[in-house]
Amino acid sequence: MLNRSHAQGSPLYNKLMQKMAGLALKLPPELTQQYQAILARFTRWCAIHAAGGGWMSDYDVVNAGFDASQGKKLMEKGTLLLPEGPANVFYVSGPHAGKCIQKFISDDLIEGNGIRNEFDILSVQPELNGGIIDSLVSPSKRGDTPRSERMKIIFETACQETGVVS
């Protein structure tokens, strides 16, 4: 698992952190409590850049059928991958990650009262329609169930459906 110490290995890390510090000063009041999560979203790109590229996903994503052949095709194309829905799962090469970070640095990250999604900034369209289950279901469906509990339920369901656990 990559972390901030890995991100600091990217030559673009300091520039991105300067951008994020400026962003903190411009955030609408309703987003100031979310600043650490916003910072983490963009910082992970520096970690994958420093690592030379690879697969990246949110920690609460479960593989439910995405196989190596699908992944290999995407890796050969060198494209980003984003399944429909709130999950972030993608492959990016090291040089491509660098170009993405440069775009984050140069573009305005605030839109209205929100922060733009990285994939909107990059104009990336989804390429995968299935195979990934994300615990971040729509707010209207998740209620007050903690993320960890939603993840446990999804994992147990996926295991039962595949016959791993009965």
Ordered by start, the domain boundaries in the chain are: 4-134
What integer pLDDT is reported at residue 54 of this predicted model? 84
Q: Which tens digit of pLDDT belongs to each residue from 111-135?
A: 888 888 887 888 776 554 444 444 4
Residue 161 corresponds to which tokens in the numbers above? 């459906």
Which pTM was predicted? Answer: 0.70
Q: For residues 71-106, b (16+ Cβ closer than 10 Å) or e, as one string?
A: beebbeeebbbbbebebbbbbbbeebbbebbeebee
Name the residue type at position 42: F
Q: For residues 30-60, b (16+ Cβ closer than 10 Å) or e, as one string?
A: ebeeeeeebbebbbbbbbbbbbebeebbeeb
Q: Which tens digit of pLDDT belongs to each residue from 68-115?
A: 676 676 666 665 655 555 556 777 888 889 999 999 999 999 888 888
Q: Is the pLDDT of residue 165 over 60?
A: no
